[in-house]
Amino acid sequence: MTLDTILPPERTLFAVPGGSKKRVLEFFSTFIAQNIPSLDSQEVFSRLLGRERLGSTGIGQGVAIPHARSPHCKKPIASFLKLAEAIDFDAVDGEPVDLIFVLLVPEQADDAHLTLLGQVAGIMNDAATRAALRRAENQPELHRLLTDAIRQSSASSS
């Protein structure tokens, strides 16, 4: 399973209003519950917030990878949010975050969860990819850049 198979264009969001970490996680939870009826927005929000309490998922360089397990999630779900303006995400480097890759996985998906997190981290650690995503001017371009980066990363790691 690769990220491009679980990140459809409609879950790549452009110019998302920020405000705060909590507000962004709430926005995502509402958005994903509207798109996937088996998910409850409050449950998703509470799981993402619970994960953040263990330690921020802000990995540095303006990137965060919030993730959680959900018993109502049948298969891994990815979403990407490019914020309209960077927000404080308690990132490890103290820098504000504007690129957010969210992952939800089934409760029992240990290996898949770790593999997907590794793929996201690999893509988002690339400075050229981050710069290209920040320059994207619309949602279709953002999704194309992301899927290109995912495919390049998959090709170079296989």
- Give the active site residues: 67
Burial class (CB in 10 A: 0-12, 13-18, 19+), 103: buried
Closest of 109, 26, 14 to residue 66, by C-alpha: 26
Helix, strand or coil, per DSSP, at residue 35:
helix
- CA dist., res. 106 & res. 112, Å (int): 9
Nearest of 104, 97, 87, 77 to residue 10 by alpha carbon: 77
**Is residue 123 classed as helix, strand or coil in its secondary structure?**
helix
Dist. CA 75–CA 104, nearest whole Å: 8
Contact 116, 76 (CB under 8 A): yes
